[in-house]
Amino acid sequence: MDLQITAADLWHLEGGAFLLENDRNLFALIQGDAVQMLPAMDRGLPPEDGTDDQGSVQMIMGRWPDGVWLVWRDYDTSSAADNMWYERLFRYRRDRWERIHETRHDQSSNTLYRGLWEQPGGCLVGLLSDDRNENNAWQAQTELLDCPGRPAPAFSFKATKQREYGIAAALGFASGHVVVVEQHTSMKEGEPKPPRLALSRPGPPNRTEIEIPLPPEIVRDRRSFKLLECRLLGGSPSDLYLVGNYEVGAVTIPLLLHFDGTSFTSLPSLPVSYIGDADLAEDGSLVLLGSPPKDNPKARTIWILPRGSAWRRRAMPIDRQIGEPYRPSSIAARSNDDVWVVGYHENNERRNRRLALFHSRPPAPSGVDGGAAVP
């Protein structure tokens, strides 16, 4: 399906539905094989809600149609001294977005949502922390954001007391468990500090820290690093994928680990230097976008790891007009054979950008490289 826009993102909703969105100018609901355009779904978003249109959509999550939330990130320009990012939370009700929460943005603090989850179903909880400093893990706190007509849930999250750590990723569960990836923000060259996974659970021990293993290149050369595009994906605190990248100087190293509730195991390696978008399908398949060494966007491709199997490369279709594959930019998956992708083309000056939406089909017979996505 050709898209008459220049950028779009796919968002995975519970129950096998996806939303396609382009900074609120386009919304489309994907259920099964059907794509339903929703031209009026932007109602209630800025500036219609009475605020300036300075920001953009950062996240859409939940389940269709009764529990869908949207995070809008905006920039406070009230004064030169207080310019800062902050976020608004909207819930989709009665065919429009209703604003239900806004993070703080004043001289004392400005907070962003580091993680959002339902606890229990219908009650949205957020992990928030300050955005002015990298070492924000000690300031993190859970907050009830949306819970109409239900008893407030009990919180188990316990923040670290060490001020040298920052939040790289967070994920919470209806059980009350909260998992946070924390990285040391002030390490020196020659003294790498492993990141850690901090697990807060209902009941003692309230907080458990598990060291995340470093790749051998960092250990061998004793390099400092930062975590980029870090994500926690999974349905329980004892079955999680940690996906992202280590930034080591001008080089990136993929981060691919599985956590079983007590320890980490490495996933099979991939011939990529950078991991972009990632999704976990309902059948447990891990799907991601990988860029090869030198980050050549023309060679960016999709990799699928079915549970208990090996990585499969999923080739993008060829654009017949220019004879090159589409470049994937956003993905959402129901299974290893049911993957939706936004692909694009542009010339060297980043003009004439063209987008299309693709849906994968079962792979071709053996001997063909993983099959190819088709419109």
Phi, psi of 117 (to 5 degrees): -160, 160
| pLDDT at residue 350, as a whole number | 55
List the Cα angle 121/122/128 in 5-degree steps.
95
Cα 358 to Cα 3: distance, rounded to the nearest angstrom:
11
List the Cα angle 190/193/194 in 5-degree steps.
130
| pLDDT at residue 300, as a whole number | 86
Nearest to 165 by CA among 133, 194, 136: 136
Nearest to 248 by CA among 185, 295, 164, 189: 189
Cα 359 to Cα 341: distance, rounded to the nearest angstrom:
6
Which pTM was predicted?
0.92
Residue 352's region, left for phi above 0, alpha for psi from -120 to 50, else beta, is left
Cα 277 to Cα 266: distance, rounded to the nearest angstrom:
19
Q: Where are the domains of the chain?
A: 109-267, 278-375
- Report whether 320 contacts 279 (CB < 8 A): no
* CA 31 to the chain's CA centroid: 21
Q: Per-10-residue mean pLDDT for the chain, 375 residues long?
A: 91 93 89 93 88 86 94 78 83 94 85 95 93 92 93 94 97 96 94 97 92 96 95 97 96 96 95 95 96 76 94 90 88 96 78 86 56 35
